[in-house]
Amino acid sequence: MNSTNPVHDRLRRLESSFAPGAIRAVLFDMDGVLIDARDWHYEALNMALAPFGLEIDRDAHLATFDGLPTRTKLDMLSKSRALPRGLHGFVNSMKQRHTGDMVRQRCHPVFQHQFALAQLKAAGYKLAVCSNSVRQSLELMMQRAGLDGFLDLMVSNEDVSKPKPDPEMYLLAMSKLGLSPAECLIVEDNDHGVRAARASGAHVLVAGNAGDVTHDRLRAAIDEARLAA
């Protein structure tokens, strides 16, 4: 006869999770981690650039622009392809409008992400999303994906002076949560985000794409961080 008590087992797991050196929060990038939105951003920006004949090649976008804020991409285009700086505001506005339209049409809840965040939340972890997107896009995507209710904090590129690859965004989130880098696991997917995550001093889980972000993989990364402490 099995004499184990499920409640006691759960309490022991929770106690173990919050031992010294344990992870207390998971900080997620959004695009490519919780939302498969790379193509949306690429398409929306090219729609905004099309009237000026300055569309970006897909390979160039993935290699150079992926994960950067729109304003940074426009600065790069001004330097490399002479996009007039006076057009930045208009192009950025149009890009955000196109992105919003795509989010409303394409963004929907994904069970594995809702399950993962629900399980982490129930286990007592603090959860945050730190994205190079503007706040309007960040909040809209989290709402449409059904993830906003699990989050303790959302940090956008409008909340910092230096977006990723600078670590400011992650350091701000840790400060607001009252935690040290050693107590945080960051989930990232692209080079700019991974650089920011590692520069923050936190533990880092690199995801190839949004499909890689599962509860089992997150729990394994949390356990690995605890053993490495």
Q: Which fold has domain 6-36+108-228?
A: Rossmann fold (3.40.50)
Q: Is the pTM of this model over 0.85?
A: no
> What is the distance between the alpha carbons of residues 53 and 91, in angstroms, rounded to a whole number?
12
> What is the distance between the alpha carbons of residues 179 and 127, in angstroms, rounded to a whole number?
12
Indicate the angle between helix axes 111-122 and 215-228, nearest 10 degrees: 40
What pLDDT does 205 receive?
Answer: 98
Among 9-23, 69-83, 92-106, 125-139, the minimum mean pLDDT is found in 9-23
| Helix, strand or coil, per DSSP, at residue 27 | strand
What pLDDT does 146 receive?
Answer: 97
Q: Which fold has domain 38-106?
A: DNA polymerase; domain 1 (1.10.150)
H or E, element range at 42:
helix 38-49
> What is the distance between the alpha carbons of residues 226 and 6, in angstroms, rounded to a whole number?
23
**DSSP symbol at 132:** S
- pLDDT per position as a tens digit, 23-68: 999 999 999 999 998 888 889 999 999 999 999 988 888 788 887 8
Residues composing the chain = 229
Closest-CA residue to 27 (of 161, 165, 196) = 196
Domain boundaries, the chain: 6-36+108-228, 38-106
Biggest CA–CA distance in the chain, Å, is: 76
Show the tokens assigned to 61: 């976008």
Pair 185, 21: CB distance under 8 Å = no
Q: Which amino acid is at 35?
A: I
Quickly tell me which residue has 């400011």 as its tokens: 168
Could you give the residue ranges of the DSSP H alpha helices within 107-132? 111-122
> What is the distance between the alpha carbons of residues 213 and 32, in angstroms, rounded to a whole number?
10
Q: Backbone phi, then psi, for 130, in 5-degree steps?
A: -125, 110
- pLDDT per position as a tens digit, 171-202: 999 999 999 999 999 999 999 999 999 999 99
